[in-house]
Structure 1
Amino acid sequence: MRPLSVKRCVMASIISAGAMLYAVAVSAQLLPQTPIVYTPTTTTESLLSRYSQMHSKPNAYWQLTDEEWAKYQALKEKSPWSVWESHATPLSMLAYYAPSIEEKRRYARIEAELDVWRQFSVTEFQLLYDKERKIVQERYVEYMEKRMPTLGTLRPYDKLRLFVEAGECNTHCRSLVSRVLKTQAKVDVFVVGANDDQVIFKWAESAGIPVERVKTKEVTLNHDNGLFKIISTNGVMTVPKLPALFKQTAGGGNQVVAI
């Protein structure tokens, strides 16, 4: 058998498409030509209440009788729609095989009401969730603000105050300074008991403070001048031992950082 020519293939496609359009036109003529006017038989409140009820049988959720549900189960198992549209709803499946337009309309009405109820339920829940999420978030933020910060929770935009004792920065001191500098936060170092600037410079050298960060004022070196005593005895704050690290709050206060 010789293969069909391109011209014959095109003609066959045109004929097939024309037949499909003709079938659609015939189907449209069979449907009522008068506009379908929906006259509500119940209030929206009653509709929402009806579909929100719990039932012992699955067919009741779809407003279907036992016989209709049995028919749907048979169609779902045996009809072509189980292959064509595996997620078809019971209402749409029954409507495909309904013998009359009135029966199709009934299934369409129930489907439309269910969709309205679903949309209302989802929207209502989302609004409630948004309100509760805001409350929970505010409580969380409040908790985190009151919680003692740690080196792990510090961020580059934080401002820190590190109080150390004058003298040689020992192994523990150097380890702390290294971890504080890794936060990339701005650090104001206060050397408690320093009599002059040379004592502060000596401490900074033994602590391994980068000169570049001092020049850019990412790290500042300062005399204590009694600031540690003022901060540590303010309010109910437990007086920490030196070295001590504080995080400056937005309101101008100081939080002890666990080190």
Structure 2
Amino acid sequence: MRSHITPVLAALIALAPVLALAQTAPATGFRIVSSQERMTNDTALDERLAKDWGLKPEEWTRYQQLMQGPLGIYSPNLDPLTVLGIEARDEEERRRYAELQVQAEARRVEKLLTYQRAYDAAWQRLYPNLLRVDMRASSGLPQSSLQPTRLAVFVKENCPACERRVRQLQTEGAEFDLYLVDSRQEDARVRQWAERVGIEPDKVRDRAITLNHDNGRWLAIGVQGELPAVVREVGGQWQRL
């Protein structure tokens, strides 16, 4: 039996090698990055990151290696200076990383304070009559609420006793920093709670009272008991009043 190949089929057979080549060719506009180029880019990035932390390239490499071990599993969010300080091999290394971290923290806090002043001024211009939630509570900046000269008041929602205690403190003219433990990082939730108990906007504006997200501080200070809790630092320890 003779095999009959139509003209169309013959044309497709002839084009098959061309089509296969087109399928394997890289798409226009895409650039293949060589392994050598990728390694060069990674090295440049590592050197820049090391410099940002005041570290030598070999110190940055050791930090990366340490984070691949148990420390990185238990504490995946530790910064490089803390990691290297914890795993310091001698007292000189430990002292070096501690000093670098203090310097880095001082720079960070100064930047945050500078921005906080600009933020306060902008808030006063734009929303002078709206209760302000202290932005420092979510920035990691050491704030007045943990200074021994002020009261820290921890409260939660759906807590009539919390509302009564805060009203009492305000009536007495106390200056304090209010923490809503279950704020879920929502400024509106903190603001609504404060408005419900009658926190005076003038006192918030003058920082006689500050409104804050808890961010785990209630657990961190280690004070026992139910909320509300009014605490102050006494002899290095936080105690209920």
Question: TM-score normalised by the shorter chain: which range applies?
Answer: 0.3 to 0.5
Greater CA radius of gyration, 1 or 2? Answer: 1
Taking structure 2 as the reference length, the TM-score comes to 0.35
Taking structure 1 as the reference length, the TM-score comes to 0.33
